[in-house]
Amino acid sequence: MQRHLISAADLTRDDAVLILDTAEEMARVADRPIKKLPTLRGRTVVNLFFEDSTRTRISFEAAEKRLSADVINFTAKGSSVSKGESLKDTAQTLEAMGVDAVVIRHGASGAPYRLATSGWIDAHVINAGDGTHQHPTQALLDAFTMRRRLVGRDAGLGQDLNGRRITLVGDVLHSRVARSNVDLLHTLGAEVTLVAPPTLLPVGVETWPCEVSYDLDSTLPKSDAVMMLRVQRERMNAAFFPTEREYSRRYGLDGERMARMPEHAIVMHPGPMVRGMEITAEVADSDRCTVVEQVANGVSIRMAVLYLLLGGAEFQAPSTSAAPARTAEEN
């Protein structure tokens, strides 16, 4: 694995499977009376959120606390950023405080990459969503949910999603979740189809490792998992479709459409859902919808990522230091 987690495209198949397998063990901690591991004791993690987020920030915070890391929450509102401080100055402030990892969400695509590669800080950088670019931990928790449901909890260990047909429906243009998912699912061997009105597909989508369709009804019977994306009204500054009603009639998932999916197929949503728009209440509340499961799996995945990035020795660290020759076989 690399030092940072910036993009789902940076992960190899083996990295991704290792993260999913680790998350499967982390998930068991949630069933214990004491939901805590001492692994990251003494490490400091900053949640640097320049953009609003509830579930991602809470999920990261829960994961950090379950691994006993010290957590500092930094939200742009009411901070020095609202007074005009630059990303560089914020980063250097954090560096001076001796931070071990930065979980960053930023409205600008590429901000986490800048933070990781600029030399401003030594900390590990984990991308928690940047603009319309990437949201790698979301893609990982989605893949984790698919593997659990489609392959099985124990049967899935060590496995990828080879040959599974995954359909992503909706606002692909503004969706970092869609980008991350396409990258990761392709790496894991799944066949991905994007379904969206042409106006909500980004330029260059034909170069992505996936199929594109404008017709939801013909794609549904050939899907093992259908992921509905939220229509991101806050990022829309033009008329991408005539009316909301027309959008939900053509691209929304209702009970009738769900019935056309194969028996075993699941419905996913990264949240927050807009009921009545891309998904009806009937579908959202059905057993086949994994939204709540995805949230629980998010904590396990983030614990796995934090453990794999922060839990061991630094890769560049000189191995001569305190490590005795015997560490390879301690009993």
Partner 1 sequence: MDTHDPASPPASQADARPVLEAPDIARVMTRIAHEIVERAKGADDVVLLGIPTRGVFLARRLADRLEQITERKVPVGSLDITMYRDDLRLQPPRALARTEIPGDGIDGKLVVLVDDVLFSGRTIRAALDALNDIGRPRAVQLAVLVDRGHRELPIRADYVGKNLPTSLRETVKVLLAEEDGRDTVLLGAKQTSQ
> Which residues would be at the binding site for partner 1 (CB under 8 A)?
18, 21-22, 25-26, 28, 32-34, 36-39, 307-309, 311-313, 315, 322-323, 325-331
What tokens does 3 get?
A: 């030092």
Minimal distance in Å, beta carbon 28 to partner 1? 6
Q: Which amino acid is at 6?
A: I
Minimal distance in Å, beta carbon 64 to partner 1? 14
Residue (of 107, 117, 108, 212) closest to 169 by Cα position? 212
Q: Which of residues 154 and 206 has its CB atom nearest to partner 1 in the complex?
A: 154
Tell me the C-alpha to C-alpha distance, in Å, between residue 99 and each of 21, 65, 295: 27, 15, 27
**Residue 135 labelled as part of a binding site:** yes
Q: Which of residues 25 and 217 has its CB atom nearest to partner 1 in the complex?
A: 25
Residue with tokens 């992505």: 208
**Residue 138 labelled as part of a binding site:** yes
Beta strands across the sheet bearing 266-268: 211-213, 191-195, 165-169, 225-228, 266-268
Q: Which of residues 89 and 314 has its CB atom nearest to partner 1 in the complex?
A: 314
**Residue 55 labelled as part of a binding site:** yes
* Residues 284 and 275: beta-carbon distance below 8 Å: yes
What is the rounded CA–CA span in Å between residue 57 and residue 48? 9
Which neighbouring-strand residues pair with 225?
166, 266
* Residues 232 and 172: beta-carbon distance below 8 Å: no
What is the rounded CA–CA span in Å between residue 23 and residue 166? 21
Q: Which of residues 8 and 26 has its CB atom nearest to partner 1 in the complex?
A: 26
**Residue 233 labelled as part of a binding site:** no
**Residue 159 labelled as part of a binding site:** no
Minimal distance in Å, beta carbon 41 to partner 1? 10
Minimal distance in Å, beta carbon 126 to partner 1? 15
Q: Write out the DSSP string of 136-175.
A: HHHHHHHHHHHIIIII-TTTTTT---TT-EEEEES--TT-
Minimal distance in Å, beta carbon 137 to partner 1? 17
Minimal distance in Å, beta carbon 304 to partner 1? 9
**Residue 230 labelled as part of a binding site:** yes
Q: Which of residues 77 and 326 has its CB atom nearest to partner 1 in the complex?
A: 326
Q: Which of residues 153 and 222 has its CB atom nearest to partner 1 in the complex?
A: 153
Q: Which residues fall in the annotated binding site?
A: 55-56, 83, 105, 135, 138, 176, 230, 271-272
Annotated binding site for carbamoyl phosphate: 55-56, 105, 135, 138, 271-272
